[in-house]
């Protein structure tokens, strides 16, 4: 920053490195989001993959996004990208209404979860129980918990280490498919298993 200011004072604007820069990239699934870079002086929005936005200082507006080459990305961020963790993997298991009994189809996907967990370095597995919105809060909380426990037990039986699994439950909260209260929705009678 100080060196930069000195160069500015000398009138040598060229070669003054940006203090911060941001590159927007596509997600693992190919989707590109949106990034807004703000300083005290203004903001820039990026909505396309692989432009860079640079900021020279807190009192300068961000520069308009410009192209950045894959070579430059590799030379600046190569080491950070090399240790980027793999994207977490989520499996959804479904249940018969009002019970902690897995549907037959979901039962058959348990081995795939075990295979993924075995393939994962230090798997950190979140097992989250859910219910649909039929019935009261209390009963749905209980069912979502029983479902999560049932899945944990089933996973441990197939060989997933119990210590790698953390269980939580949400009742009718955080539905996969939002519905009005009291609507039966098979896709919300679920336990999500996320391997991170």
Contact with another protein (CB under 8 A): which of 18, 101, 103, 139? Answer: 18
- Least distance in angstroms from the C-beta of 82 to another protein: 7
Q: Residue 25 or residue 108: which is nearer to another protein going by CB?
A: 25
| Interface with another protein in residues 50-89 (CB under 8 A) | 55-58, 62, 73, 76-85, 87-88
Q: Which is it for strands 125-129 and 42-46: parallel, antiparallel or unpaired?
A: unpaired
Task: Please give the helix or strand (H or E) that residue 93 lies within, else none.
Answer: strand 89-94
Residue 190: which residues within 8 A CB-CB, separation 6 or more?
92, 93, 94, 95, 130, 147, 176
Q: Are 194 and 85 in contact (CB under 8 A)?
A: no
- Sign for the CA dihedral angle at 99, 100, 106, 107 comes to negative
Which one of 7, 22, 139, 176 is in contact with another protein (CB under 8 A)?
A: 22
Regarding 137 and contact with another protein (CB under 8 A), the answer is: no
Query: Which residue in the set 21, 101, 179, 186 belongs to the binding site for another protein (CB under 8 A)?
Result: 21
CA distance 22 to 73: 11
In the numeric block, which tokens belong to residue 50? 């692989």
Binding to another protein (CB under 8 A): which residues in 99-118?
Answer: none
Footprint on this chain of another protein (rule: CB under 8 A):
1, 17-28, 31-39, 55-58, 62, 73, 76-85, 87-88, 90, 121-122, 124, 126, 145, 149, 162, 165-171, 173-174, 194, 196
């Amino acid at each position: 920053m100080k060196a930069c200011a000195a160069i500015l004072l000398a009138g040598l604007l060229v070669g003054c490195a940006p203090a911060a820069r941001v590159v927007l990239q596509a997600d693992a699934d190919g989707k590109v989001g949106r990034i807004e870079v703000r300083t005290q002086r203004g903001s820039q929005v990026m909505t396309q993959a692989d432009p860079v936005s640079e900021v020279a200082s807190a009192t300068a507006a961000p520069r308009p996004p410009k192209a950045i080459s894959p070579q430059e990305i590799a030379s600046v961020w190569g080491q950070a990208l090399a240790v980027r963790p793999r994207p977490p993997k989520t499996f959804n298991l479904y249940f018969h209404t009002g019970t902690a009994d897995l549907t037959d189809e979901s039962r058959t996907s348990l081995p795939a979860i075990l295979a993924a967990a075995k393939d994962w370095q230090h798997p950190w597995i979140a097992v989250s129980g859910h219910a649909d919105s039929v019935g009261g809060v209390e009963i749905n909380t209980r069912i979502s918990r029983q479902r999560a426990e049932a899945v944990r037990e089933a996973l441990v039986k197939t060989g997933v280490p119990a210590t790698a699994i953390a269980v939580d439950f949400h009742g009718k909260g955080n539905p996969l498919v939002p519905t009005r209260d009291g609507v039966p929705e098979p896709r919300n009678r679920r336990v999500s298993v996320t391997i991170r």
